[in-house]
A and B are shown apart, each in its own frame.
Chain A
Amino acid sequence: MIPIAYNVRSVVQRPVSTALTALGVGLVVAVFIGMLALANGFSAALAKTGSSRNVLVLRKGADSELSSGLGRDVSSIVAADPHVATGADGRPLVSPEVYVLIPLAKSFDTTQIANVVARGISDQAWQVRNNVTVTAGQKPTSGRPEVCVGSRLTKRFPHTGIGQTLHFAGRDWSVTCHFTAAGSAFESEIWGENEQFMPVFRGEVFQSITFRLKDPGSFAEAQRALQADKRMTVDAHRESEFYAQQSQLLGRILSFLAVMITGIMAVGAVFGAINTMYAAIASRAPEIGVLLTLGFRPWTVLVSFLAESAFIAAIGGLLGCLFSLPLNGIVTSTTNWSSFSEIAFSFRVTPALLLVGLVFAVVMGIVGGFFPALRAARLQVVQALR
């Protein structure tokens, strides 16, 4: 075998050419990781939103909370269901909720309006959704026009600080607390009391009812019982599945874009790599002739040049990983078209993603290096040494 040191030294011999090729591959890898991190972050935000122990009840046929509507009678029927867990105080863990979109102006540009979710909840909601924690201030007091604001909204929208007043639906609402929800979509919502939201928005109607299962395994049974109940026409969804499905449309678009764009980029970069390697081999023909004369087998020459190409690409892959690391945690926002609401989420660069990026780079290197390496291996000694 030709020692790897030979390739490393050859690469170091032409620093500019190596750096340019590696940088090109690096940028491709960075875009690849960046786009997948975006898709990843979006899906993660929505996937984490639901709990598999919770059941979301919507009106039959409604595909989002926005298009649903349930009366108070339905809320009492659901609350009385035997599958519903009960809290420490003996009350059922049920939250009948009002879900509306309100237009809010953004902090940095008040002409930009975003549709923000305002969710009217019951007192139990804080226990039903156990990933929600109040980080500052006091929960809204029942009967008062008070709201709690998700942590992702506080930086992007004005008047969301504790003690400040938000104006929507023709009324003033004082902000009494901020909450986090483990990075989920709830963090992009404003929560208030359902009884306060009902009269100012859509009247005596809830949009959804969420409850906690007494026995986590009994979802199918609970779903059958609720949907078969003749007194109401509802669909019961597992909360986690519902939100995962809400992310499908945009998640799919993002992943599709990531694969499409980086696919085309990769082909372009591989073409470039092939050219670089051909040129490298052409200028080193005498060297290769010497190697062959010394008795190295053609296939070891092939492996050696493949390794060299892979090595340059791997440097590029590492560069790409470095470029993409600062993206991690950057918050961006877009409208989730399945629910029509704006949702903020962060890029998520995971170790697995970095590894995929690195492998992607090496594959590009090997594919790009194969034909030039084959040519090197097939060189005729006499011709090469001339």
Chain B
Amino acid sequence: MKYVQLVLANLGRHKLRSILTIASVALALFLFASLRSVTTTMAAAAQFGGARRLVTLNATGLVFPLPLAYGNRIKAMPGVTGLSWANWFGGRYGDGKNFFANFAVDAESYLALYPEIVMPADQKQAFLQDRTGAIIGDRLISQFGWKLGQNVTLQGTIFQGDWTFKIDGVYHPTDPAIGDNVLIFHHDYFDERIGRAGIAGWYIVEIDDPAHAPQIAKAIDDLFRNSSSPTKTGTEREFQATFATMWGNVSFLMSTIGLAVVFAILLVTANAMMMSARERTGEIAVLKTVGFSDRLLFTLVMVEAGALALTGAAIGLGGATLLYPAIKFNGAGFLPGFKVATSTLIIGALVALGLMLASGLVPALRAARLPIVQALRKVE
């Protein structure tokens, strides 16, 4: 422990240099953590989905509705324990610059199928009894400064006209993939206003046992195979995963950039650390003369490099971990539940150790192997 003072004194000699080195390591690892979190958050969203929930869509494509009449036929199938349906609304609020998702659902059954949507019982009751009411995620209420009980008007882009809803409740999703920036309203009211077209965008099917999912999905699709609107049924997780794949190679790009960033800054930092170690040849010779062993000097130089790298890493990784939840970052709605995963922290710590080795090993070896006589010749 008595050597801690020595290491600290060495670090404090060029305060500016130590601070800049720590800052650049911190920035590198902050960026690394941020970029990798984009990938892990997208992967986590793709993993979302109740094991007992299936989603039935029109086989022709996402934008084609299914007849509302399918509901009763699906419900009557063996193994199906619950059913709800929803329709994408795509309304625009204000100038449309702040986009958020909004859709019509069969409220009672939908809320029963999604226990992840949590709100006070009285608000839920008020929503179920108010045909033109809506519930919203808690992010929306702070984003737009709305109040409970207020009327909100959306302009329909797919279904024309002004649609006014009373905010009956504010929910908080226990699973970030549900989205806290969504407006949900009654499908029955929606259906009435579009002239009882009797359409549902998708069905959510609750089944008795996750193990039966493949058979039930196939049975549903077989039932409608020769109808006007054939269906495509899959688990909710598969449904979510298709959204994740829509990003294309974005996660690959993010990881590549992350690597380049880390590598670039580490190169520069390691270089600076090695250069500063080289200046101290004379000092090390003096320490050796006084009786410091080769091994001890090796350790001291490595500890110094490690102190710089690990402090920087702690600031960078810790900063990223704390910053994103604090500002409720969600990537403009595209990355719900954005957070730095534990695996990212571990990899970041390993990168810092790697930096310590890369920047400390050469000077430390030189220090350990330094012949005293030769080194002292250079001292003034």
Q: Which residues of A contact B267 (CB under 8 A)?
A: 20-21, 23-24, 27, 272
**Bound-state Cα–Cα, A268 to B265, Å:** 6
Q: Answer whether residue A133 sits at the interface, using C-beta atoms and an 8 A cutoff.
A: no
Cβ-defined contact, B264 with A265, below 8 A:
yes
A278-B249 CB under 8 A given contacts A21-B268, A23-B267, A115-B62: no
A279-B279 CB under 8 A given contacts A27-B260, A31-B257: yes
CB-nearest residue of chain A relative to B30? A264
Cβ-defined contact, B23 with A115, below 8 A:
no
A334-B261 CB under 8 A given contacts A24-B268, A61-B157, A280-B275: no
**Bound-state Cα–Cα, A267 to B265, Å:** 10
Within 8 A of A (CB), among B242-284: 242, 245-250, 253, 257, 260-261, 263-265, 267-276, 278-279
Q: Answer whether residue B64 sits at the interface, using C-beta atoms and an 8 A cutoff.
A: yes
**Bound-state Cα–Cα, A271 to B30, Å:** 15
Which secondary structure dominates chain B's binding surface?
helix
Q: Interface range on chain A: under 10, 10 to 19, 20 to 34, or 35 or more?
A: 35 or more
Q: Answer whether residue A141 sits at the interface, using C-beta atoms and an 8 A cutoff.
A: no
Q: Answer whether residue B21 sits at the interface, using C-beta atoms and an 8 A cutoff.
A: yes
A157 to chain B, nearest CB (A): 14
Interface string of A66-103 (1 = CB under 8 A from B): 11000000000000000000000000000000001111
State which of B24, B28, B249, B273 has its C-beta within 8 Å of the C-beta of A333: B249
State which of A31, A267, A279, A335 has its C-beta within 8 Å of the C-beta of B246: A335
Q: Answer whether residue A113 sits at the interface, using C-beta atoms and an 8 A cutoff.
A: yes
Q: Answer whether residue B79 sits at the interface, using C-beta atoms and an 8 A cutoff.
A: no
Q: Which residues of A contact B279 (CB under 8 A)?
A: 279, 282-283
Interface string of A266-306 (1 = CB under 8 A from B): 01110111111011101100000000000000000000000
A67-B275 CB under 8 A given contacts A102-B60, A272-B24: no
Cβ-defined contact, B62 with A268, below 8 A:
no
A67-B245 CB under 8 A given contacts A31-B257, A31-B261, A280-B275: no
Q: Answer whether residue A119 sits at the interface, using C-beta atoms and an 8 A cutoff.
A: no
Q: Answer whether residue B379 sits at the interface, using C-beta atoms and an 8 A cutoff.
A: no
Q: Which residues of B contact A31 (CB under 8 A)?
A: 257, 260-261, 264
B289 to chain A, nearest CB (A): 22
CB-nearest residue of chain A relative to B159? A67
Q: Answer whether residue B195 sits at the interface, using C-beta atoms and an 8 A cutoff.
A: no
A268-B28 CB under 8 A given contacts A35-B257, A202-B64: yes
Q: Answer whether residue A112 sits at the interface, using C-beta atoms and an 8 A cutoff.
A: yes
Q: Which residues of A contact B24 (CB under 8 A)?
A: 267-269, 271-272, 275
Cβ-defined contact, B257 with A264, below 8 A:
no
Cβ-defined contact, A283 with B278, below 8 A:
yes
Cβ-defined contact, B257 with A63, below 8 A:
no
A269-B253 CB under 8 A given contacts A17-B275, A333-B248: no
**Bound-state Cα–Cα, A169 to B61, Å:** 8
B296 to chain A, nearest CB (A): 25
Q: Answer whether residue B31 sits at the interface, using C-beta atoms and an 8 A cutoff.
A: yes
State which of A21, A62, A103 has its C-beta within 8 Å of the C-beta of B271: A21
CB-nearest residue of chain A relative to B60? A169
**22 A–B pairs (Cβ distance < 8 Å), ordered by A:** A23-B264, A34-B257, A38-B253, A61-B160, A62-B157, A67-B158, A100-B63, A100-B64, A101-B62, A170-B59, A201-B64, A261-B31, A269-B265, A269-B268, A271-B27, A275-B21, A278-B14, A279-B276, A282-B279, A332-B253, A334-B247, A334-B250
A-B complex: 8 closest residue pairs judged by Cβ atoms: A272-B268, A275-B272, A27-B264, A279-B275, A24-B268, A335-B246, A334-B248, A271-B24
